[in-house]
């Protein structure tokens, strides 16, 4: 079955760029929306953005200018870069798959905690 795994630094300094990668195993990276979603400690979920296998992207307008999402289909990976981070970006970051017809996130990675602190 398809599994997702996030990887990347757990600590990022303020004003620097947060970089995470999600590796897709057990299936193809085609035909789905591959998303990043985050959850600040004790709070709800926030959609960050997604990328389609073609490379087309969409980002949450509240974060758009700081977000870059890319995909490497040869490695079955997609990545997130979030620039100019502040303490407000401290959260568990999840990668997830959405089926375009249902727009529901049916498969999630385990999540990775990223703390923004000097």
Partner 1 sequence: QSALTQPASVSGSPGQSITISCTGTSSDVGSYNLVSWYQQHPGKAPKLMIYGVTKRPSGVSNRFSGSKSGNTASLTISGLQAEDEGAYHCCSYVGGSTYVVFGGGTKLTVL
41 lines the binding site for partner 1 (CB under 8 A): no
| Residue in 70, 89, 101 with CA at minimum distance from that of residue 12 | 89
CB of 78 or CB of 105, closer to partner 1: 105
Q: What are phi and psi of 66, to 5 degrees?
A: -105, -10
Stretch that binds partner 1, among 13-21, 23-31, 68-76, 100-108 (CB under 8 A): 100-108
105 lines the binding site for partner 1 (CB under 8 A): yes
DSSP state of 84: S
Q: Of the candidates 59, 67, 90, 116, which one interacts with partner 1 according to CB under 8 A?
A: 59
Q: Within 10 A of 35 (CB to CB), how many other CB atoms are there? A: 22
Q: Of the candidates 41, 44, 74, 117, which one interacts with partner 1 according to CB under 8 A?
A: 44
Which structure tokens are listed for 4? 């997702």
Q: Of the candidates 47, 52, 68, 73, which one interacts with partner 1 according to CB under 8 A?
A: 47
CB of 38 or CB of 85, closer to partner 1: 38
| Residue in 30, 74, 67 with CA at minimum distance from that of residue 52 | 30
Contacts with 64 (C-beta within 8 Å, 6 or more apart), sequence order: 49
58 lines the binding site for partner 1 (CB under 8 A): yes
46 lines the binding site for partner 1 (CB under 8 A): yes
């Amino acid at each position: 079955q398809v599994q997702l795994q996030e990887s990347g630094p757990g600590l990022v300094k303020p004003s620097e760029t947060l970089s995470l990668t999600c590796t897709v195993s057990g299936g193809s990276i085609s035909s789905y929306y591959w998303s990043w979603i985050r959850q600040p400690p004790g709070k709800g979920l926030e959609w960050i953005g997604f990328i389609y296998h073609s490379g087309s992207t969409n980002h949450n307008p509240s974060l758009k200018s700081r977000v870059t999402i890319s995909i490497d289909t040869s490695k079955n990976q997609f990545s997130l870069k979030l620039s100019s981070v502040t303490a407000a970006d401290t959260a568990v970051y999840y990668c997830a798959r959405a089926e375009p017809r249902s727009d529901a996130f049916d498969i999630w990675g385990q999540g990775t905690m990223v703390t923004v602190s000097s």
